[in-house]
Every structure is written in structure tokens, then in C-alpha cells.
Amino acid sequence: DAGITQSPRHKVTETGTPVTLRCHQTENHRYMYWYRQDPGHGLRLIHYSYGVKDTDKGEVSDGYSVSRSKTEDFLLTLESATSSQTSVYFCAISDSLGLAGAYDTDTQYFGPGTRLTVL
């Protein structure tokens, strides 16, 4: 899993409670991402980070906040969880494919996911 861990792997919580998911990488990559994956919607970008303390919103950022105080850690917080935030959450990091010239591009490597249920 490209040196990416997510914790917790499973969580059940109640509506209105705060929840923090952690992503940890050992690859020293600059970019980190949080996605949610739901049936019928595929992967949707929540937030991403392009460096320590540098973050930006993705497609579905409402109700979520993020923080990145160290290169290796990217935290996703649901300030007050709702049932609509029941989902599988994936962290990803990106890196170059290491090819020559114009053929090279970045791709994303995903963690194992966190399954969150909000009752």
C-alpha cells in the first residue's frame, strides 16, 4: 500500500459527534488527499494538501476540515458527524511514475480505507 496507513480502519459513531480520521505516510510525498467512496458516486475528492499547512477544498468539502502539521500526517475531521457522511474514506498520496520526459506524470497511491458508519 505504498507506505500509507489509515486509522481507524473501522468506526461506528453517533450523529453529532466529532470524528477524526488519520492518514500516515512513510514516503515523504508532498501531496496528500482525502476521498470518500459511495455506491453510484465513485471516488469524490474531499480535501487535498500540497504541503505542510497547505490545504485546499475538493468536490465535496462541506462538513469536513483537514489539517497537516507534518509531512507524514494528514487528518480529516468531521466536526459533527451526520448519517450522510457514512462512507468509506480513502487517503492517497501522489508521486511521479519516474518515466522519461513528457511521458512522466504523477499518479495516486491509495491507503487501505476507513469504513465509517454514522448512526
- Residues lying near another protein in the complex (CB under 8 A) are found at 1, 31, 40-43, 48, 50, 90, 92, 94, 96-97, 102-113, 115
Nearest to 87 by CA among 79, 96, 78: 78
Q: Between 63 and 113, whose beta carbon lies closer to another protein? A: 113
Residue 13 in contact with residue 27, Cβ under 8 Å?
no
Least distance to another protein, CB of residue 80, Å = 27
Q: Between 19 and 93, whose beta carbon lies closer to another protein? A: 93
